[in-house]
A and B are shown apart, each in its own frame.
Chain A
Amino acid sequence: MTVTPPKQFAHAVLPSATLDERAREDAVRTLRRTVLDRLVPGVADAWRDRVEPALPDPAATRAEIRSAMLADPFVQHTFSLRRIVQEQVWDTTAQIVGRQAEDLAERASSMPARAGGTLQLDPDLPIPPYLKTLDVHGMPTGYWDEVTDGHDVAAGAMYDRGVYLYALGRSGPLGDSRGRSVAFDFFAERLPDFRPARILDLGCSVGHSLLPYAELYPEAEIWGIDVAPGVLRYAHARAESLGRRVHFAQRDAEDTRFAAGSFDLVVSHILLHETSAASLPRIFAECHRLLAPGGYMVHAELPQYADQDLFTQFMIDYDTFYNNEPFWGAMHDTDLDRLAVEAGFAPEDVSVAFVASGRTEGTDRTGRSQPGRSPGQLQLTVARKAVAR
């Protein structure tokens, strides 16, 4: 029997849905599950049974696999469906958010800050060029569009409701399974004595992954930054409605303008792959600058490509070409440890850790299960700033 997912938690700014809108979401969810569970595994069969045997020479790169695979009619059909389902996720969500955008803006602006968090916006902050070339993962507001004149939260509402649908509800009622993995499976388990007083989350979006830190470190002063105003207004209203004291500010992770040495912990969750090759080293350098001696930088992403076979790389690389994530592939090819060393961390203070992923696609993305460093895990790039002697 198919199990229906838990309901998304209805905090004060979650957009509501009519009977037909809920049915449309249900249709998209069923279609997406069918494509991932029933069709995507067939792509691995196509490779093994038809495409690979017909190659004159073994494929040397994932690009060669991709060009051979995209000539196969079953693969064309499956990838086309997968793309269309993604468009349907956003089409459905945009109808829901669009008709109540004014009301959501009003609700967010009148939300009392009972938990004591704050919101700082900077209308002059430029949006990075890489966020303007494509709408990331096909979300038609981007992160940064504003659709009403007031306290606009449409992009945040799109992201919150749409990502929940995309994740088939597996990210939990608060969409925080990824943040919980990093906070509780990494920090609480493996660094039990680390008690950061000041924490910064880069590219926090609506705060899904950030709020678990407020739960784990209730005494800490917690900041989330993003370049996009709509997701931050939404994040602030959402956190207050959930009773979590967090400060949100519109700043760029490459140049945050916080004082040097002013944080004990700087984290990011699935931010890096949505930036660019030029941006990555600047973000790492900024993390090093921001940390106090003994402080930690931790970036959570899916596992790097280096340890995976070419076919698995091709499967995971779907998002680079077909899901508007243009830096996905190049980021997963980048040696993040070396980048940390180049940013000023001592080589012996840089390490890699894995935690079970809150990520929902797991083996479905590859069509087969991966032992060890599987796509069902999050890879953490961990660096500790040297303690001055």
Chain B
Amino acid sequence: MRFRARGPRPRFFADPELDRFHVMLVALLGEVSVLRDRLDAVERVLDSGRPFTRADLEAYEPDAAAAAEREAERSALVERVLRVVLEDGAEADTGYATVEDVVATVSAPHPVPLVTPGRKTS
């Protein structure tokens, strides 16, 4: 069985090594999710209070409520890992372009307005 498709693979980043690292990172995210799901399955089977075997675990199928909980956990995991991209540019803007500007402002001996006039701090 082949795992790679025939044909040239497109590249997205200036450095091809970044493309490769991106692939590995996402593969690892998948593996972590699988581990979590398996641990969750063990805990839920344990909750039944009955002894169980690996075969019982293998046959585990979540009911609708458990499936929704597991899905929410999985989504949260993906969001945590992707947050830096999901929230690209969404740092709460206080009107200072760089950390150096903030340092200079709070270090000035005389009081200066901490927020550039006319800009919101939300």
Contact = CB atoms under 8 A, between A and B. Distances in A.
Are A and B genuine complex partners?
Answer: yes
Interface residues of A, number: 55
Interface range on chain B (Cβ under 8 Å from partner): 35 or more
Given A2-B75, A3-B68, A90 B22 contact: no
A142 B8 CA distance: 14
B27 A30 contact: no
* SS class, residues of chain A in contact with chain B: helix
Given A27-B30, A74-B88, A2 B68 contact: yes
Given A2-B75, A19-B58, A28-B30, A97 B68 contact: no
Given A2-B71, A19-B58, A140 B85 contact: no
Do most interface residues of chain B lie in helix, strand or loop, or is the interface mixed?
helix
B5 A23 contact: no
Contacts of B26: 31, 81, 84-85, 88
A26 B71 contact: yes
Contact of A20 (B34, B67, B89): B34
Contact of B30 (A3, A31, A147): A31
Contacts of A97: 1
B5 A31 contact: no
B79 A83 contact: no
Interface in B1-41: 1-8, 10, 12-13, 19, 22-23, 26-27, 29-30, 33-34, 37-38, 41
B29 to A, nearest CB: 7
A138 interface: yes
Interface of A: 1-4, 18-20, 23-24, 26-28, 30-31, 33-34, 38-39, 42, 70, 74, 76-81, 83-85, 87-88, 90-92, 94-95, 97-98, 101, 132-135, 138-142, 145, 147, 154, 321-322, 324
Interface of B: 1-8, 10, 12-13, 19, 22-23, 26-27, 29-30, 33-34, 37-38, 41, 57-60, 64, 67-68, 70-72, 74-75, 78-79, 82, 85-86, 88-89
